[in-house]
Amino acid sequence: MTTVEDALTRPDPATTRRARRVAVHTFRPRRSWPAFIVGALIVAVAGLAAAEVISTLVGSPLRILPVDKAADYAGSARWNDPSVQVASAVLALIGLVLISLALVPGRGRWTVLRTDDPALVVGLSRAGMRRALTAAACEVDGVRGASVRVGRRRVKVRAETVLRHAGDLPAQVRAAVQGRLDELDPVRKPKVRAQVRYAKA
């Protein structure tokens, strides 16, 4: 292929960046459990408060919540009281934790693969990625078995061999796993570390 043909067939850099953003946003893990727990707590507190207000208006208060004591305390409390300051600090800390949980994404279950097309989004599950890389490691001559751990920034490969002198086998395993990663072409490419240990036949 000539240089001109290569330049014509190469995707536009702006399109590639857009495709990457779309893919990463699509597979961004959502914080659904913290949102569900906070929502359930708010609904429970609001339901109890509504029941107390309605029952008091009807004339037979439930008295589930200590409304009278809370009202008396709120009326007599001052901003410089230690208990008020501690309660404010605790509530502010809880708010900061909830905000950080909402902003920081959780650990994703999918590895985003590069497609260079914003209309096509492809993701591979961590289990699928682990199986693909394990198969690549096991294809190396002399490797009897392998286990792979896929992290966000690293892939750790532990291979077993019946050869007493592994020689350059760790480098071969790393190259095979790296080659499979290059074929899959994830958006964020992790570093590959390989260890080979002798196992009796």
181 within some domain: yes
4 within some domain: no
Domain count, the chain: 1
C-alpha span between 83 and 90 (Å, rounded): 11
Q: Is the pLDDT of residue 156 over 90?
A: yes
Residues 146-168, mean pLDDT to the nearest whole number: 86
Domain residues for the domain of 174 are 110-198
101 within some domain: no
| Residue 108 structure tokens | 């994703």
Better-predicted residue by pLDDT, 144 or 164: 144
pLDDT digit string, tens, across residues 6-48 = 444 555 666 667 766 666 666 666 666 777 788 888 888 888 8
Residues 172-199, mean pLDDT to the nearest whole number: 89
Q: Is the pLDDT of residue 178 over 70?
A: yes
Please report, rounded to a whole number, the percentage of residues in the chain having pLDDT higher than 90: 19
The CATH number that applies at residue 164 is 3.30.70.1350
pLDDT digit string, tens, across residues 86-116 = 988 998 998 888 888 777 766 667 787 877 7
Cβ neighbour number for residue 201 with a 10 Å cutoff? 5
157 within some domain: yes
Q: Is the pLDDT of residue 171 over 50?
A: yes
| Residue 42 structure tokens | 């708010």
How far apart, in Å, do the first and last CA atoms of the chain sit?
A: 49
Residue 162 has a pLDDT of: 83
- Taking all residues of the chain, what is their mean pLDDT, rounded to a whole number? 80
Residues 76-86, mean pLDDT to the nearest whole number: 82
Residues 71-75, mean pLDDT to the nearest whole number: 69
158 within some domain: yes
18 within some domain: no
Q: Report DSSP letters for 98-157, one per residue.
A: HHHHHHS----SEEEEP-S-TT--EEEEHHHHHHHHHHHHHTSTTEEEEEEEE-SSEEEE
95 within some domain: no
144 within some domain: yes
Q: Is the pLDDT of residue 61 over 50?
A: yes
